[in-house]
Amino acid sequence: MSGKAVFVYHPDLEKYYFKPEHPFNPTRLRITVSLLQELGLLKENDIVTPRLASMEELLLAHDQDYIRAVEKLSNNCFEEEGLFFGIGTEDNPAFSDMHWASSLVVGATLTAGEEIMEGRADHAVSIAGGLHHAGRRQASGFCIYNDINVAIRYLCHKYHIRVFYIDTDAHHGDGVQWEFYEDPNVLTVSFHESGRFLFPGTGWLNERGKKEGYGYCVNVPLEPFTDDNSFLECFREVVPPLIEAFQPDLIISQNGCDGHFYDSLTHINLSISAFQEIPRLVHQLAHAFSGGKWLAVGGGGYDPFRVVARAWVLLWAEAAGLNVKGNIPLSWQKKWQKISPCTVPQTLFDSPEVSLSVPRCQEIAEKNFRAASQAVQDTLIVLNKYI
Ligand SMILES: [Zn+2]
């Protein structure tokens, strides 16, 4: 598949940093870029520097009093009023320059969208983006501003496009879902560990959108210990027919990699191979149905050395059409072993014997597949009726 890809990145994106010991550690961006460079997969001219999102742009998906509170808390992290907006909690502690750093993350996703819509690239990857939990006036799940919502609003308004959003983070993409819940121009699909077991507790089959947006919201809640085969079977059941029926102008994928079996925050049981196969499928679908237009953002991922770096190397390699080899350079291993709490990986893929064996995997797969079939059915009826 042909298609020019750009990588939107600047080291300042690491300033989106809550505090030491917080699970959302932006060093994962540097570790990923370092692995890409050591593998020879990322060249200087692949990289586009992100711009900062403006106040006007943030207002497309956030309320003014919320933005004002974030600004104020950026200078004084102890203001109690933050709690009203979900800031100052254990998940979302205030940090200095929070407004600036969060605006840069949003700006990175906006930059990625502009690169595509202005025709300078077919695919754009913004690994700092993917803050899918933030609401219009609510910080949630490590997310202050929702870069995806701002970007979708901005791009839809400026270019009059329809967007297909695919979220494969282990957590439900609630912030994006609720923002576009009544909007038939944005179809959101989220695959996630069932809300019975995992934050944010939503993403049920019966959340299907409202009013004109009915049918344009699809959720596939998955069982704990879902493996690659079951996850990909559900993905193939749902995503290709929906994209074909919806005919989007742009596909946006959220590529959280916290569904890996090493990730300590979730109970999904994917291997690194799944994080190669998911973008591969999205890439093919973009060339088949959206003129190649594909914007990929990052998301969750709390094991930076063993999971995030490898998963997002594979994401970029897929977007850029590059072949990857199995081994990780010794120089990268040596450099990062010094600060890694676990043994850093020697290969890009997991060896089969490392993955956890799951006793009930057939039962889990059957349950997941039933959910996927149900999830897609009603939406296909709606799409085929009106388009
Ligand atoms: Zn997540």
Task: Reply yes or no on whether the pLDDT at 367 is more than 70.
Answer: yes
Report CA(143)–ligand 1 centroid distance (Å).
Answer: 11
Task: Reply yes or no on whether the pLDDT at 2 is more than 80.
Answer: no
Q: What is the pTM of this model?
A: 0.97
Q: How confident is the model at residue 76 (pLDDT cuts 50, 70, 90)?
A: confident
Cβ neighbours of residue 209 under 8 Å, at least 6 residues apart? 181, 182, 215, 216, 217
Which tens digit of pLDDT belongs to each residue from 31-42? 999 999 999 999
Are the C-beta atoms of residues 9 and 47 closer than 8 Å to each other? yes
Q: Residue 356: its pLDDT value, please?
A: 67
Q: Residue 1: its pLDDT value, please?
A: 67
Which tens digit of pLDDT belongs to each residue from 299-351? 999 999 999 999 999 999 999 999 998 899 999 999 999 999 999 999 999 98
Structure tokens at 51: 């711009």
Cβ neighbours of residue 264 under 8 Å, at least 6 residues apart? 23, 302, 303
Are the C-beta atoms of residues 296 and 279 closer than 8 Å to each other? yes
Task: Reply yes or no on whether the pLDDT at 387 is more than 60.
Answer: no
Which tens digit of pLDDT belongs to each residue from 125-159? 999 999 999 999 999 999 999 999 999 999 999 99
The percent of residues above 70 in pLDDT, for the chain, comes to: 98
Q: For the residues 94-115, what does the mean pLDDT come to?
A: 97
Report CA(258)–ligand 1 centroid distance (Å).
Answer: 5
Q: ω into residue 359 within 30 of 0, thus cis?
A: no
Report CA(378)–ligand 1 centroid distance (Å).
Answer: 26
Task: Reply yes or no on whether the pLDDT at 239 is more than 80.
Answer: yes
Q: Which residues are catalytic?
A: 172
Q: For residue 320, how many C-alpha atoms fall within 13 Å in the half-sphere facing its CB? A: 21
List of domains in the chain: 5-178+186-193+249-358 (3.40.800.20)
Task: Reply yes or no on whether the pLDDT at 175 is more than 70.
Answer: yes
Task: Reply yes or no on whether the pLDDT at 386 is more than 80.
Answer: no
Q: How confident is the model at residue 255 (pLDDT cuts 50, 70, 90)?
A: very high
Report CA(167)–ligand 1 centroid distance (Å).
Answer: 10
Task: Reply yes or no on whether the pLDDT at 385 is more than 90.
Answer: no
Q: Residue 357: its pLDDT value, please?
A: 73
Structure tokens at 162: 């329809």
Report CA(201)–ligand 1 centroid distance (Å).
Answer: 12
Is the Cα dihedral 224, 148, 25, 354 positive or negative? positive
Q: Residue 3: its pLDDT value, please?
A: 84
The Cα 361–Cα 291 span in angstroms is 37
Q: Residue 342: its pLDDT value, please?
A: 95
The percent of residues above 90 in pLDDT, for the chain, comes to: 92
Q: Residue 353: its pLDDT value, please?
A: 74
Residues around the ion ligand 1 (C-beta < 5 A): 169-171, 256, 258, 300
Q: Residue 263: its pLDDT value, please?
A: 96
Q: Other CB atoms closer than 10 Å to residue 75's CB: what's the count? A: 12
Task: Reply yes or no on whether the pLDDT at 358 is more than 90.
Answer: no
Report CA(169)–ligand 1 centroid distance (Å).
Answer: 5
Q: For the residues 53-69, what does the mean pLDDT come to?
A: 97
Report CA(120)–ligand 1 centroid distance (Å).
Answer: 30
Is the Cα dihedral 74, 89, 56, 148 positive or negative? positive
Report CA(227)–ligand 1 centroid distance (Å).
Answer: 16
Report CA(299)–ligand 1 centroid distance (Å).
Answer: 6
CA angle 199, 133, 94 (to 5 degrees): 100
In the chain, which ranges are E strands? 5-8, 47-48, 123-126, 163-167, 186-193, 217-222, 250-254, 294-297
Q: How confident is the model at residue 45 (pLDDT cuts 50, 70, 90)?
A: very high
Task: Reply yes or no on whether the pLDDT at 80 is more than 90.
Answer: no
Which tens digit of pLDDT belongs to each residue from 17-29? 999 999 999 999 9
DSSP-derived letter for residue 136 is: T
The Cα 50–Cα 14 span in angstroms is 13
